[in-house]
Amino acid sequence: MLQVLLRRTSGNLSSLSCTYPKHFKYYTTGVKKLLETSDVESNNKSTTQYGTQLYPNSKTTNEQIAKQLEVTRLVWHPSPSMKKDEVLGHYKKLSKFRLTSLVVITTMAGYAMAPAPFEISTFVMCSLGTGLVSAAANAINQYHEVPFDSQMSRTKNRVLVTGKLTPLHSIGFAVTSAACGIGLLHFGVNDLAALLSAANLFLYTSIYTPMKRMTILNTWVGSVVGAIPPLIGWAGCSGSLDIGAYILCGLLYAWQFPHFNALSWNLRPDYSRAGYRMMAVTNPDLCRRTALRYTFAIGLLSFLAPVFDITNIWFALGSLPLNGYFCYLAYKFYQHSDSGSSRKLFRYSLIHLPLLMAMFLLCKTHWIFMENANKEETSTNYTQSKSDKIANNLNNLTSTLLITSRDDTNKLLPLIPSTKAN
């Protein structure tokens, strides 16, 4: 009887459900009870109870209950729901707005730290272009991972999983964003920034995304993806990459490991259920060791920055307590490896990165406007000293000529005949 009733509920009679709103109310409650209870007799009792509520003056039988369930159907709504006031929010979620914002901030930091003139137009186009490419990469990532996102509690409400956007919308959005972003970087910034952005898009969508289900090396590839945006900003400002860009890239690369390993530690059931090959799932010891090692690497890179004259010594001294506490939390995570220690490490990583970037910016040695001012002062002093030297030379030459002319005149006077003698 239960199977017959469930088969008959598969039809679509939305018009009848609108005609019988009271039946629809009792039907949904009854079907929910029917699916939650495994006992057939209790199912019959529950349906009989709701049938009595529908028809209190008549005795309900199984045939009547079947007819009631056949008449009262669930209301069908088209999916996806493309309401104008919701479309922008759906695309915002498709682009992973928070992650894209972090990518743009690190790109801005790379631009500001480069030893080159700051141009507001190039800065805006570099930031906007990188943000569009990041949004495209996230859209393609969600397109590929719909079957797996549906199995994870953290991602089961994404717009593609719930059907709020179709895969065609996702691909169209990704192609448009990628073309506009790379075009802005190519025509508005420079070729190197556009090339780095396109390479990062390919690395994230075509290498990192499939590797997540193959090997734990995906974490290292993902760290490279997260470290490239500062290079885009640096290249957008200076047009080239030097040792300062690579040190900044190394800081972002090393920061990814304690940040992501702490995040993934409390998501191990989700990753395992979806089939993702993460260190926290397949090799927990390596996950803890890697997080600890790379926090020490951040401290080492912070000391290398003043050595190569990228920042002054105050950056190394000021970042010492910041990196020291980061290492302490990573050591606590390595020792205990519970949800509390991993959560503390993850939350501190969100504070650590912006503070470190701000300190790097404040302590950098090559401020282009200061160098220009020094050059102008030097050139002014040089011009003044040169003009003074020329004036002195002219005075000496003039005085020499005057003295010479007087001597020649005195020599010629005896040769001129006197008018008195004549």
Say whether pLDDT at 397 is over 60.
no
Tokens describing residue 42: 């209790």
Interatomic CA distance for residues 237 and 101, integer angstroms: 19
CATH superfamily of 83-241: UbiA prenyltransferase (1.10.357.140)
Interatomic CA distance for residues 293 and 24, integer angstroms: 60
pLDDT for 126: 95
Instruction: Note whether 149 and 161 are within 8 A (CB).
Output: yes
Q: Could you tell me which residue, 189 or 82, shows the higher pLDDT?
A: 189
Q: Give the count of beta carbons closer than 10 Å to the beta carbon of residue 336.
A: 12
Q: CA distances (Å), 227 to each of 99, 101, 107, in order? A: 13, 15, 10
pLDDT in tens, 318-366: 999 999 999 999 999 999 888 889 999 999 999 999 999 999 988 888 6
pTM: 0.69
> Would you tell me the crossing angle of helices 243-265 and 339-362 to the nearest 10 degrees?
160
pLDDT for 152: 85
Q: Count the helices and strands in the chain (H runs, E runs).
A: 20, 0
Instruction: Note whether 349 and 342 are within 8 A (CB).
Output: no
Q: Which residues pair with 311 in a beta bridge?
A: 364
CA nearest to 232, candidates 131, 85, 84: 131
Return the domain boundaries, the chain: 83-241, 242-373
pLDDT for 413: 43
The model's confidence at residue 82, banded by pLDDT at 50, 70 and 90, is: low
Instruction: Note whether 286 and 329 are within 8 A (CB).
Output: no
pLDDT in tens, 217-261: 999 999 999 999 999 999 999 988 989 899 999 999 999 999 999
- Biggest CA–CA distance in the chain, Å, is 168
Q: Could you tell me which residue, 418 or 167, shows the higher pLDDT?
A: 167
Interatomic CA distance for residues 13 and 72, integer angstroms: 8
pLDDT in tens, 266-304: 888 888 888 888 999 899 999 999 999 999 999 999 999
pLDDT for 84: 65
The model's confidence at residue 374, banded by pLDDT at 50, 70 and 90, is: very low
Q: What is the C-alpha end-to-end distance of the chain, expressed in Å?
A: 161
pLDDT in tens, 115-170: 888 899 999 999 999 999 999 999 999 999 888 888 888 888 888 998 888 889 89
Name the least confident of 18-22, 105-109, 254-258. Answer: 18-22
